[in-house]
Amino acid sequence: MSFRSLFLKAQQNTLSGSALAVVRSFPFPLGRDPSSLPSALTEKLDPNIVSLIDDRRISLRFRVSSLIELSELEKAAQISRLAVLKQYRGWDTKVLMCNEIIGAMCAAERYDDAFALYQFFDSESKLGHSAVSFNHVVKAHCDQNRVDEALKLCHPCRGYFRKDVDTFRSLAKGLVNTGRIYEAVGLIKYIRLYDSVVYSYLIRGFMDLGNHDKAYELFDDFNNKTEPDFTDGRNKILIWPSRTDGQNRRAVVDATFVDYWLKQGEDEKAMEIYRSLIIRKGELVCAATGNTLLEILLQNGKQTEAWDLFNAMITNSKNFDRETFGIMVNACFKLGHFKEALETFKRLEFTRSSSCYANIIAQFCERGMMSEAQDLFVEICSDQYLSPDVPTFRSMINGYAKAGRVDEAIVMLKKMVDATLLKFAVHESH
Give ranges for CATH 1.25.40.10 in the chain.
Answer: 353-430
Examine the pLDDT at 147 and tell me if it is beyond 90.
Answer: yes
Judge whether 104 and 76 are in contact, CB under 8 Å: yes
Cα torsion angle, 378, 381, 386, 389, sign = positive
- CATH code at 3-185: 1.25.40
pLDDT at residue number 153: 87
Examine the pLDDT at 406 and tell me if it is beyond 80.
Answer: yes
Q: Which residues contact 430 (CB under 8 A, 6 or more apart)?
A: 59, 61, 89, 90, 93
Residue 404 CA to residue 50 CA, distance in Å, equals: 42
280-304 pLDDT, tens digit each: 767 788 898 899 999 999 999 999 9
Examine the pLDDT at 307 and tell me if it is beyond 90.
Answer: yes
Judge whether 329 and 295 are in contact, CB under 8 Å: no
pLDDT at residue number 223: 84
Q: Which of 33-37, 272-276, 378-382 has the lowest mean pLDDT?
A: 33-37
148-177 pLDDT, tens digit each: 999 988 876 554 446 788 999 999 999 999
Mean pLDDT, rounded, for 95-111: 93
353-430 classified as CATH 1.25.40.10? yes
254-277 pLDDT, tens digit each: 999 999 999 999 999 999 999 988
Judge whether 181 and 207 are in contact, CB under 8 Å: no
Mean pLDDT, rounded, for 67-89: 83
pLDDT at residue number 15: 42
Element (H, E) at 310: helix 303-313
Determine phi and psi for 43, rounding to 5 degrees: -70, 160
Cα torsion angle, 329, 330, 336, 338, sign = positive
- pTM for this entry: 0.79
